[in-house]
Amino acid sequence: MHIIENGNVAAALGVKLCRANVIAAYPITPQTPLTEKLSEYVESGEMKAEYIPVESEHSALAVCIAASSAGARSFTATSANGLLYMHEQVQWAAGARLPIVMCVVNRAVGAPWNVWNDQQDSISQRDTGWIQMYCSDHQQIIDSVIKAYWLAEKVSIPIMVCYDGYILSHTYMPFDAPDQEQVDAFLPPFKPDYALNTEKPANLNTVTLPDVRMDVRGELAHGYMEIRYLLQEEMRAALAVAAEAEKRFADIFGRGGDPYIEPYLCDDAEYIAVGLGSLTYQLRVCVDALRKEGLKVGVMGVRFYRPFPDVAIANALKGKKGVIVFEKALSYGYEGALVSDLKSALYEHLAGTGDLPMVQNFIAGIGGRDIRTEDLTQTLRAATKSRVAKEPVWIGLKL
């Protein structure tokens, strides 16, 4: 059914359709309308779930971690400092291999206080062992939530579904809200065999030694290092499972595409703009304008940031003259995290082939600074002419 709603409602609808059992959340702008909507679903009886209004984000994820450990499909959402306050729990959820889904409604982090959009919050959680998906529109938000539960439960790894605050969370757009029957066909009930159970008592997340150790049955059990290696190995393997999710989704819902990247006019392009989230749709407008000028440019959105789809990215960028990476976050002291990862993928797969494109990095929209399409277009145009600078260039900076 096609409806017109804001991005937060798209996310809430996705969570409802996935029949999440336990929802815990603490208010933070711009995430609040999402969790308010969920409390509405639960209180009205429209959704059968437990909604826990916790006293902090740290506790929000604690509730999800415990509920998931006890076999409940769990959901939370946050933004900015809320996510940072969760950081310990974010790491814990991944190490405990719990398939929690969390929406991150991207917002700048303090200090100073700023409620507007950038992506420093979720990017700063890159190395926590969570899968990260980025959405460019409302359809992707609701679809990603549904795919995320399937994928997370398949690989026992938690997933952040990230979308830009205000730009997506508070704007209204038409999208297709799938039928409950379709979602039920896509997503089986969550029944983990490890769940806390008084019939089969296990002690979860106990202190684990540096080395392997015999268990009570005389079988050799992992040390901490094996457990962490498995997280890395299964995270990498999750790329293939994500493709399976995309295919299953397309079969049932009739839409989908490349699971990892979202190319636009890339096939014949000489220069490709790359980004995460809604910015890539804005870049499409720039690309359309530059195409009219005869410039062969395209744009590629990265849908999965972790696990990093290095092969897909390298293949898509192979032989291009230039890659221009636009980011709403950066690793202070160097450059954007995405551009570093992207260069690493290109080096790994294309070094020495003569197909290695030149890479440039632009930082935009930090703390909600308006990203003017004409500025983006001008930047992209200039980047196709020559290398603008070695260091990342901040677009629209007024220093």
Partner 1 sequence: MGTRNYRRKTSHSDHGPGDGGRTGSWRVERPVLNTSLCIPCKRKTEACFMCWLFCPEVVISRTIPPAINLEYCKGCGICAEECPTKAITMVDEAAFSEEDKDKE
Partner 2 sequence: MQAKTTILSLPKEEFVHPGTRACTGCGLAIAYRVGLKALGKDTILIVPPSCLTVLQGLFPIASTKLPCLNVTFASTAAAATGILAALKTQGKEHTTVAAWAGDGGTSDIGLQALSGAAERGDNFIYLCYDNEGYMNTGVQRSGTTPIGAITANTPFKGKLQQKKEVPAIMAAHNLSYVATCSAAYPLDLFDKIRKCIDMPGTKYFHIHIPCPPGWGYDPRYGIKIGRLAVETGYYDLYEIVNGEFKLTAASEKLVEKRKLIPVREYFRAQSRFKILTDAQIEDIQKQINTKWERYYKKED
The residue within the footprint of partner 2, chosen from 115, 185, 221, 382 (CB under 8 A), is: 221
Cβ distance 30 to 115 under 8 Å?
yes
Distance in Å, CB of 320 to partner 1, minimum: 39
Burial class (CB in 10 A: 0-12, 13-18, 19+), 300: buried
Q: Between 73 and 112, how does the x/- string for binding to partner 1 read (CB under 8 A)?
A: ----------------------xxx---------------
Position among 220, 237, 351, 397 found at the interface with partner 1 (CB under 8 A):
220
In single-letter form, the type of residue at position 44 comes to S
State yes or no: residue 67 binds partner 2 (CB under 8 A): yes
Decide: 205 and 96 in contact? Cβ < 8 Å: yes
* 215 contributes a contact to partner 2 by CB under 8 A: yes
Which tokens go with 378?
């001008």
Look at residue 156 and give the partner it binds from partner 1, partner 2, none, a contact being a CB closer than 5 to 8 Å depending on partner kind.
partner 1
For partner 2, the binding residues in 160-199 under the rule CB under 8 A are 196-198
**Nearest distance in Å: CB 216, partner 1:** 4
Nearer to partner 1, 223 or 396 (CB): 223
Sign for the pseudo-dihedral over CA of 276, 82, 71, 36: negative
Q: From the CB of 92, what's the least distance to partner 1, in Å?
A: 11
> Which burial class, exposed, middle or buried, applies to 114 when counting CB atoms under 10 A from its CB (0-12, 13-18, 19+)?
middle
Decide: 274 and 264 in contact? Cβ < 8 Å: no
Q: How near is the Cβ of 223 to partner 1 at its closest, in Å?
A: 8
Cα 289 to Cα 44: distance, rounded to the nearest angstrom: 48
* Cα gap 105→116, rounded to integer Å: 10
Residue 70 interacting partner from partner 1, partner 2, none (CB closer than 5 to 8 Å by kind)? partner 2
- Site residues (vs partner 2, CB under 8 A): 21-22, 24, 48-50, 52-56, 58-60, 62-72, 74, 88-89, 92, 196-198, 200-209, 213-216, 221-222
